[in-house]
Structure formats: structure tokens, C-alpha cells
């Protein structure tokens, strides 16, 4: 299988290198990553200007752009053969609930799904762990080997790893969940420059979540591995039906 691996943390992130290291043993892997960190860029694309693309080797490229740009280059530049799976991650920090609207990691997977490719976003609460994300990468490899043929094309599957996984710590800890409801409390640091001009820096945001049975937050807090399916169609069907009813 041909797997396109990308992320939003940049080319030197441990997570993307771990995925490449373990998945390349069973599959053809092609790594296309941003030159710099591009967190919280969702599905942003570079338009009306060129992007610098640097070849490291025949299966490893660096793009001076966004995660979705990396997916586009991987799918349409002619550099690689036909891609069977888009894999985005392993992100440094979780992407659960409403995070999926902001995340560059999930955005890259959504872009792959938008173009008809089965896509998987992977995130971990661990930040640059000493094992180099070996635990997560091995479980992602096992998931792909075991479940790929059951996955639906053009669908986003969003996986998040907790700090400590309950015993036995394998795919039996995988729990299919709905997306929860994240609560954001933002804080800005203001730096006055001159006159009416100031610089505002988003800093120290507080994250919490609502108590939703069956959500990714619930599974995560219980020490399991939540996996959620993310739709591309954002239509609020319930509200639409309310207005369409006679």
C-alpha cells in the first residue's frame, strides 16, 4: 500500500519520523511535511504564489506551505505513485471535539478525504516523549494493517492517544466515539506599541470540555484510545429540517 505521511509540526517532528520508521516496514511510505510548524492552520492552502518544494530523497519532500499543501503536492504533483491512504501526525497534543475545526493535523486528513482518499489523523497528549512516539506509531501500524480494508474511502478517522493507556495497551483499547464539545477560554497579552496601535498575543488559553457520554473526551479520560469519524459535510441537518418544515 502507498501511504502519504504529513503533519503540521514540521519536518523535524518526532511524530512524523516515527510513523515513517515503522510503517515503511510493511508499506511504501512517502513523506511530505511543512518546512516549519503550521499548527492551527486547518485546511489552509497556498494560492496565487509558488511554493518551494525540496527533495530530501525519492520518498521524502519538504514543502514551504501548509499541511493541506503537502497533501496536494503528494497527490497531484506527479512526484509519487497513486496514494491509497493519507496519514497525518503524530501531532504534539490532542485534537478532540471542536479542535478538529482548527487543527492542521486534522485539516490535512480532511483534505485527503476531500479528494476521495481514506485519511487518518493521529494525535498524542505526550509532547516529544523519550521513546520518540514509538508506542503510538506501533499501534497506528497495527490499526492500518488490521482495519484498512474495512475503512471507508473519503472518510476522516481521528485518533487520539492518552498519556497512559489501560492494560493491555493494544487495539482492544480502541473506542469508537463521537466528537465531544470543547470549551475554550482565551487570554491575550497586550503590548502597546504607539498611539492607538497595540500587539495582541494569544497566550495562556484554558481548555476544558463538557461531560458527554460516548465522546472522545470520555474515552480519553478513561485511559482508552478514542477514534472518531469526521464528516466533511458541515450541514446542520436538524436546523435545516426545522426551517424546511411547512
CA 168, 174, 178: angle at the middle one, nearest 5? 150
Angle, helices 134-147 vs 14-23, to 10°: value is 40
Mean per-residue pLDDT, 56-70? 96
Domain boundaries, the chain: 2-181+211-235
Q: Indicate if the pLDDT at residue 25 is higher than 90.
A: yes
What is the Cα–Cα distance from 204 to 226, expressed in whole angstroms? 26
Q: With bands split at pLDDT 50, 70 and 90, how would you rate the model's confidence at 120?
A: very high
**Is the CATH number 3.40.1390.30 carried by domain 2-181+211-235?**
no
| Cα dihedral value 165, 166, 170, 172, nearest 10 | -130
pLDDT at position 228 is 98
Is the pLDDT at 205 greater than 90, yes or no? no
Q: List, for residues 166-189, the tens digit of each pLDDT value.
A: 999 999 999 999 999 998 888 999
pLDDT of residue 208: 86
Phi and psi at 217, nearest 5°, equal: -65, -40
Bridging pattern class, strands 60-63 and 53-57: antiparallel
Residue 246: per-residue pLDDT:
80
Backbone angles phi, psi at 189, to 5 degrees: -100, 125
- Residue 242 parent element (H or E): helix 237-244
Average pLDDT over residues 75-85: 97
pLDDT confidence of residue 121: 98
Amino acid at each position: 500500500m502507498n501511504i502519504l505521511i504529513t503533519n503540521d509540526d514540521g519536518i523535524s517532528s518526532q511524530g512524523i519520523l516515527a510513523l515513517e520508521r515503522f510503517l515503511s516496514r510493511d508499506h511504501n511510505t512517502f513523506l511530505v511535511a511543512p518546512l516549519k510548524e503550521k499548527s492551527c492552520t486547518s485546511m489552509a492552502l497556498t494560492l496565487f504564489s509558488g511554493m518551494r518544494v525540496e527533495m530530501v530523497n525519492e520518498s521524502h519532500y519538504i514543502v514551504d506551505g501548509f499541511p493541506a499543501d503537502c497533501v496536494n503536492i503528494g497527490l497531484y504533483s506527479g512526484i509519487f505513485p497513486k496514494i491509497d491512504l493519507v496519514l497525518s501526525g503524530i501531532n504534539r497534543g490532542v485534537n478532540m471535539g471542536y479542535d478538529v475545526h482548527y487543527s492542521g493535523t486534522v485539516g490535512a486528513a480532511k483534505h485527503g478525504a476531500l479528494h476521495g482518499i481514506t485519511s487518518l489523523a493521529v494525535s498524542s497528549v505526550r509532547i516529544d516523549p523519550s521513546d520518540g512516539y514509538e508506542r503510538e506509531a506501533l499501534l497506528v501500524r497495527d490499526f492500518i494493517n488490521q482495519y484498512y480494508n474495512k475503512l471507508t474511502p473519503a472518510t476522516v478517522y481521528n485518533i487520539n492517544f492518552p498519556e497512559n493507556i489501560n492494560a493491555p495497551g493494544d487495539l482492544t483499547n480502541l473506542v469508537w466515539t463521537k466528537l465531544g464539545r470543547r470549551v475554550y477560554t482565551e487570554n491575550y497579552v497586550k503590548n502597546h506599541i504607539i498611539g492607538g496601535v497595540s500587539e495582541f498575543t494569544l497566550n495562556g488559553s484554558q481548555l476544558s470540555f463538557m461531560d458527554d457520554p460516548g465522546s472522545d473526551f470520555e474515552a480519553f479520560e478513561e485511559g482508552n484510545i478514542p477514534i472518531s469519524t469526521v464528516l466533511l459535510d458541515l450541514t446542520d441537518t436538524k436546523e435545516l429540517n426545522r426551517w424546511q418544515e411547512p
